[in-house]
Structures are given as C-alpha cells and as structure tokens.
Amino acid sequence: MVLIGAHLHDGDPVAQAKAIGADAVQFFLGDPQGWKAPAFPGEPDEVRAAIAAAGIDAYVHSPYVINVASPNNRIRIPSRKLLEQQLAAAAAIGAKGLIVHGGYVTADTDPQDGYDSWRKAIERINRPLPMLIENTAGGDGAMARGLDGIARLWDAIATAADGTGDVGFCLDTCHAFASGEDLATIVPRVKAITGRIDLVHCNNSRDDFGSGRDRHAGIESGTIDPALLADVVRSAGATAICETPDPAADVHWLRARLSADSARLRGHDSADTHQPSGPPPPG
C-alpha cells in the first residue's frame, strides 16, 4: 500500500496529520506567497523529532513566488536563493523532499531561455534532499505544463553539469487534467520522460478537462472520475498527498478505495491459482 497524506497549513501540521490518521504530511515553511526566509513551526531539531515520533513522512512545498525560469533577474536570482534556503530548511527537519513549481517565462521570451535557466539552477543549487518539480495546469510560457513541456524541462536537467543532489518529479492530477493530459495513461507516459514519480498530488478539479485552470476539488466532488484518481495513485506507487478542501475525508476515502481494490485483486489472483483443472480431455 502506498502512503497517503494531506497538505495541512494551520497550527501544527504534524500533530494534525497524526490526528487524522495520515501516513504523510505536506506543509509550507512560512508564507507561500512571500519572499522571506523559511520559518519553522518550532526549533528544527524539535520538528524533526516530532516527525520521527509521529512515524509519518513529511514533505515541504516551496513558496509559489519562486520562478527560476524567469527572464527577469530580479525574480530569477532571488528565486534561486530562496529555493536553496527552502531545500536546506526542509533537510534540517528531516523532510523527504521539497516540491517546487516549474515556473514560467513571459510572452516576449523564448521558452528555451527558461529551460536554460533551469539547467543553470540545477548546476548551481545545492540539494541536500530530493527537489521534486511539479507539473502545472496552465500558462503559455509555463515550463512544466503538459508532457511536452516536462520533456523539454527534463532534457535541460539531463544536460546540466554534475549537480549536487537529486531531482525528482511530483505529479499533480488536477494540473495534468487541466493541461489536457489523459489521466488514464499519464503514469507510464510521465515515467517514460522522467524515469520516476516521487510524489502524487491527488486532487480533483473544479473545472473541465483542458481548462488550464488550477482549482482543486475534493476527490469525490470534482469533474474527474474518483476511480481514475485512485488508479493514478496505484499505478504511480508513490506517496499521495491530498491538497483538497477536506483532506481528512479524502485521505480516508483514498485509503479505503485502494485497500478494497487490493483485496479484490488478491481475490482474483487466488481464484485463478486454485481454479480446478477439470477432468482430463478424452482420448
């Protein structure tokens, strides 16, 4: 069974995750819309100890303002600095990974410039824990919108000089659906590009397929078939985080659905194994 958790941002996220029975938790280290250095929910050693004591996996989501692809050096350079600070802070509390969006370039900029900026960031930023790049829902200049964009981004990563840490991938189901990608086949197609999926953001969408809009819905209340979301999580085999309005309910639903599906599959396997052979053929 995969680990199932939630993004929690009020109070003590680790205690909240434990209270709702989550296996994992994701949270911000400070204001997600601000440029300030990371802010810990307590002393780093204490947070690390609390995570270990709770027996859950923790992930940190970097601020949304980070855009290492930006053609504006007043955004790009501070983005690199803040991203490196976030990586160090996440490592200090024992997180499993740091999630960062792919960013974007402006309409008057060649997208290749943004991918080149990502290559330089990979070469220059120290990564003491896995940095997980997340696909995005919309934007003509987005670096990680749709599989074509992700492929170009991974090509840039592959051509970077020897880096100083791991780069992985976070698959957001709402973002993929909104960008016009078929979720029924998304996992093998992503893995063919990146070689991996380290984390799944299991979110439904409030909007229609290909809308380009990033508006999450609860697993059972959006425009994506909930069974399809469960299939994505099962196929990816990675920890799943619910970034939804009622994450506790979605954690419980997803766990129950995956457990039921696993039991049904085991039952089918057992029936096939013990099926009577029948009488020998005549003759």
Determine the number of helices (DSSP H) and then strands (DSSP E) in the chain.
9, 10
Strands 216-217 and 239-242: unpaired
Complete domains list, the chain, with CATH: 4-257 (3.20.20.150)
CA angle, 230 as apex, 143 and 61 as ends, to 5°? 40
d(CA 104, CA 153): 11
Model confidence pLDDT, tens digit, residues 212-231:
999 999 999 999 999 999 99
Residue 271 has pLDDT above 70, yes or no: no
Distances (CA, A) of 14 to 27, 51, 59, 146: 9, 6, 11, 32
Per DSSP, 94 falls in state T
How much of the chain, in percent, has pLDDT values that exceed 90? 86
Residue 98 has pLDDT above 80, yes or no: yes
Instruction: Report if pTM > 0.75.
Output: yes
Q: 174 near 214, Cβ under 8 Å?
A: yes
H or E element in which residue 102 lies: none
Roughly how many angstroms between the first and final C-alpha of the chain, as a whole number? Answer: 48
Position 219 scores a pLDDT of 98
Model confidence pLDDT, tens digit, residues 173-193:
999 999 999 999 999 999 999
Residue 60 has pLDDT above 50, yes or no: yes
Report residue 139 as tokens: 């934007």
Position 123 scores a pLDDT of 94
Q: 152 near 118, Cβ under 8 Å?
A: no
Position 13 scores a pLDDT of 95
